[in-house]
Amino acid sequence: MIYPNGDRQAGQLELEPSKSPHGEVFGTPPGLEKATSFPQPPQHFSVLACDLRVGYQPLLLNASVEMWFPGRSLVRAEAAVVGHGLEQDPESTFPEVSLQITGGHRIFGATPVKETSGPRSLPPQGTVEYKATIDVDANRSYQRDDVELRCRYWLSAHNLDYYRFGVRTAPVFEIRDASRPTALGWIADHVLPLRELVTLGTLEQQTVSWLELDHEDDGTKFGSVQVFSREIAQSPYAPTIDRDKDGRSLFVFSALPYSPLELVERWEKLRAAHPNFIEPLIRGVTEPTDSRSGFLLTVQALEGLHTETYGEGSQYSAKHKEERDSILKDVKQLGLSKKRRAFLHRWLDMNGRYSLRDRLKELRDDVADDVLSIVNLDLIPGDVPLYRNQISHGAGNVPATTLRPVGRALAALGVAHVLRLLDLPRDRMSHLFTR
């Protein structure tokens, strides 16, 4: 490992799928030669360079080195960029990125293999022909300002193998940004929002399979560098036929009312504007949780949406408290006993908040036409407030057979509101929700 002051120390570096880069350094970090107590507080570096025995030169980004005892330190990093000829500059920028996201093909909007043909059985003699027709138009390109998004199927074919013939395609996102973000900038501004969008479109957890950055040598020649981080699974894939999932998505890029790049921007703004709605909703509808956990997450999400949209109550808290105090004063003058007044004081809401029933009813009515055909709206609000109180306070056991249809209705309600806020059609919801 190479410190910014030029010091070199031996060590080992672990680059693993879905884990942050980490390892050990066999030496004392610069400036700690006289340390007498251990462990020492970690030293932070925006970038640390390494030389691997296999010849690669990783750059560790947002790295920390923590000395545990003399001659041994732990190193951790947010991400590692692995390649050749990389500059040890935290502001190094890259013009283009290529990546795979599991499930990404489901929102591309087209499939590449248009037709295949071949005999059902081989004749006793002669020759036969196997043929595949590839639709090049399945590759789409979208432009918005200085950013270009290409949804492409990378093609591999065994057409020169005398013993096997086959064609396989792999969906890949390619993004070019004229502003040339840094490696961490690419991940934060483009890669993770795109993964979240695929997760939303498929209502399933998706991962970044792999990520490569293009860089320039001498301003002309392009090369690729591999990125390792906790967000990258390092598992390239090519989709196969899945009749249960093919075609099931809330939207496809080729049929959006506006550019997919604009959708990414809208999604980021929506997440920032409604964090208490989006985060629990996505967890509730995509994570493999039990019926109670999913139910509580979707209820929390809808409460968050209503609060962030309409506030805590129909009037200001100060005005509510003023009216509340006035009513308690009136009942005292009317001769209500102290014990009865104490009951009112205990159970009259101090802040005038909307009830959960009122919140759910209003949110239901806003998108009722969009979800009426796919869920039973009589379940909302129904007994949802009762179930929520029983589960969250441990006061009762609601069976999964009761919660599942309610949870499905709440999830459909939340997803319909996401599509509404993104100005997307809701006509594909039936692909993922059924009664």
Phi, psi for 353 (deg, rounded to 5): -80, 150
Beta strands in 87-230 (DSSP E): 96-101, 113-117, 131-134, 140-144, 147-157, 167-177, 208-217, 221-229
* Tokens found for residue 104: 């990404």
SS3 state of residue 73: strand
At residue 181, the pLDDT reads 93
- CB 191 within 8 Å of CB 211: yes
Using CA atoms, how far apart are residues 115 and 41, in angstroms rounded to an integer? 62
Q: What pLDDT is attached to residue 142?
A: 96
Between CA 373 and CA 370 the distance in angstroms is 7
In angstroms, the CA 120 to CA 110 distance is 27
Residue 218: its pLDDT value, please? 54
| β-strands 131-134, 140-144 pairing | unpaired
List the chain pLDDT tens, one digit each, 435 residues.
Answer: 888 888 899 999 999 999 999 999 998 888 888 877 888 899 999 999 888 887 788 899 999 999 988 889 999 999 999 988 777 676 788 999 999 999 999 999 888 998 989 988 988 999 988 898 999 999 999 999 999 999 999 998 887 788 888 888 999 999 999 999 999 999 999 999 999 999 999 999 999 999 999 876 555 545 788 999 999 999 999 988 888 888 889 999 999 999 999 999 999 999 999 999 999 999 999 988 889 999 999 999 999 999 999 887 765 667 767 787 788 888 888 888 888 878 877 777 766 678 899 999 999 999 999 999 999 999 999 999 999 999 988 877 889 899 999 999 999 999 999 999 999 999 999 988 875
180: tokens are: 């040339």
Question: What is d(CA 237, CA 249) in angstroms, rounded to the nearest whole number?
Answer: 19
Q: For the chain, what is the largest distance between any 2 Cα atoms, rounded to a whole number of angstroms?
A: 108
